[in-house]
């Protein structure tokens, strides 16, 4: 069930996810909340320069990952947006954040998130923030001839509609506090090409507030290459079908990068793509080529270099064990080696 401003949101029973999404996008309370979010100053996060960021206990999410955090252990949760779904349960003091990028992970992903934030109170009201996902139809159309595979509705609309439909059809009560997606998160150039206003966000766990943010490479660790590879490799690994990628252990405050298998096909793809020009990489590897950040191409090349050097996924995950990272005294992350692997 969806709630807005304490009142159940009930469009016509026959409405589909897209109709419900359109109705929510025009709700006065959500329009006002989006305008307030849009007016915020974007925070620039860099662990190498920003002393405040250095001192914060943080968790960063990549595509297809989720994490449920305890405010007693984590100050800030960060992510670079496709569509980020934030579910807060103030009664038990936990916040679950997911970076969703395709509709097929929505139902399973919500189950994963709610398993860690829901209690046995059937009347619990979960605060929800949906941010990211711009109006990419025009951007997609600009590259239609080059890519051929792009559908006319873009990527963000079907994903947002699926999330809204899933929230609406569940028995839990979800109070949408922020809906800064699609047209609300889009700016246009002189040629009518759409770009996201904000690419990322931070959520302050002490009060559940969210703010737009941008990040440099220092603020996205740990284990960024393996985690980026997992995003693509998870499409081949049946263990992750319809699921978000496990990344962080709430109870121990550790990054626990669950194993994901990739085949020799990933190396072959890397070999085929590594000599492409920057523009060709954007066209071949991005769903929104005109809207990617400045480090997109470099990160793609870094992934391919790793896959070419390490085509066997078991090198990254010996004995099929997760990769573990503990927080240091200075707030950074250091990899730990399991005794059972050492022995």
Higher pLDDT, 313 or 10: 313
Higher pLDDT, 167 or 85: 167
Span 91-132, pLDDT tens digits: 788 999 999 988 999 999 999 999 999 876 667 899 999 998
Span 219-231, pLDDT tens digits: 777 999 999 999 9
Distance in angstroms (rounded) separating the CA atoms of residues 139 and 33: 26
How large a percentage of the chain has pLDDT more than 70? 88
- Taking 80 as the threshold, does the pLDDT of residue 218 lie above it? no
Nearest residue to 331 via CA among 226, 218, 213, 227: 218
* 202 strand-pairing partners: 78, 211
pLDDT score recorded for residue 2: 95
Span 186-211, pLDDT tens digits: 998 888 788 889 888 999 998 888 99
* Distances 133 to 13, 27, 74, 275, 307 between C-alpha atoms, Å: 26, 18, 26, 30, 29
Nearest residue to 298 via CA among 281, 316, 284, 280: 281
Domain hosting residue 247, numbered range: 2-342
Pairing of strands 83-89, 76-80: unpaired
Distance in angstroms (rounded) separating the CA atoms of residues 54 and 330: 8
Distance in angstroms (rounded) separating the CA atoms of residues 26 and 60: 31
- Taking 90 as the threshold, does the pLDDT of residue 173 lie above it? yes
What pTM was computed for the model? 0.88
- On whether the CB atoms of residues 78 and 201 are closer than 8 A, the answer is yes
- CATH at 53: 3.30.1330.200
* Distances 184 to 53, 80, 144 between C-alpha atoms, Å: 28, 17, 24
- Taking 50 as the threshold, does the pLDDT of residue 343 lie above it? no
Nearest residue to 135 via CA among 85, 184, 99, 83: 184
User: Quick one: pLDDT band at residue 48, thresholds 50, 70, 90?
Assistant: low
Helix/strand/coil for 231: helix
Residues 6+ apart with CB under 8 A from 157: 18, 21, 137, 182
pLDDT score recorded for residue 276: 94
Residue-averaged pLDDT of the chain: 86
- How many domains is the chain partitioned into structurally? 1
- Taking 50 as the threshold, does the pLDDT of residue 152 lie above it? no
User: Quick one: pLDDT band at residue 148, thresholds 50, 70, 90?
Assistant: very low
pLDDT score recorded for residue 138: 56
Q: Would you say the C-alpha torsion 266, 97, 177, 15 has a positive or negative sign?
A: positive
Q: Angle between the 224-233 and 264-273 helix axes, to the nearest 10 degrees?
A: 110
Distance in angstroms (rounded) separating the CA atoms of residues 130 and 87: 9
């Amino acid at each position: 069930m969806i709630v807005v401003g304490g009142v159940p949101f009930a469009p016509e029973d026959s409405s589909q996810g897209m109709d419900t999404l359109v109705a929510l996008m025009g709700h006065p309370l959500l329009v006002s909340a989006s305008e307030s979010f849009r007016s915020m100053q974007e925070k620039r996060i860099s662990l190498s320069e920003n002393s405040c960021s250095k001192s914060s206990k943080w968790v960063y999410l990549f595509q297809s990952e989720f994490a449920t955090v305890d405010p007693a252990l984590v100050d800030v949760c960060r992510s670079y947006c496709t569509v980020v779904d934030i579910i807060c349960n103030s009664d038990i003091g936990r916040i679950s954040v997911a970076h969703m990028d395709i509709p097929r992970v929505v139902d399973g992903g919500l189950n994963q998130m709610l398993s860690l934030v829901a209690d046995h109170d059937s009347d619990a009201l979960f605060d929800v923030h949906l941010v990211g996902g711009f109006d990419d139809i025009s951007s997609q159309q600009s590259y239609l001839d080059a890519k051929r595979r792009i559908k006319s509705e873009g990527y963000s609309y079907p994903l947002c509609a699926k999330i809204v439909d899933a929230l609406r059809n569940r028995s839990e009560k979800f109070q949408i506090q922020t809906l800064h997606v699609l047209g609300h998160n889009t700016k246009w150039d002189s040629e009518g090409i759409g770009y996201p206003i904000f690419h990322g966000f931070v959520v302050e766990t002490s009060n559940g507030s969210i703010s737009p943010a941008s990040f440099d490479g220092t603020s996205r660790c740990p284990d960024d290459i393996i985690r980026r590879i997992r995003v693509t490799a998870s499409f081949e690994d049946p263990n992750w079908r319809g699921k978000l990628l496990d990344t962080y252990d709430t109870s121990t405050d550790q990054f626990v990068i669950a194993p994901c298998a990739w085949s020799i096909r990933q190396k072959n793809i890397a070999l085929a793509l590594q000599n492409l020009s920057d523009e060709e990489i954007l066209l071949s590897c991005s769903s929104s080529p005109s809207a990617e950040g400045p480090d997109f191409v470099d990160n793609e090349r870094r992934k391919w270099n790793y896959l070419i050097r390490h085509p066997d996924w078991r090198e990254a995950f010996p004995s099929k064990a997760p990769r573990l990272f503990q927080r240091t005294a200075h707030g950074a992350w250091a990899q730990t080696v399991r005794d059972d692997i050492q022995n």
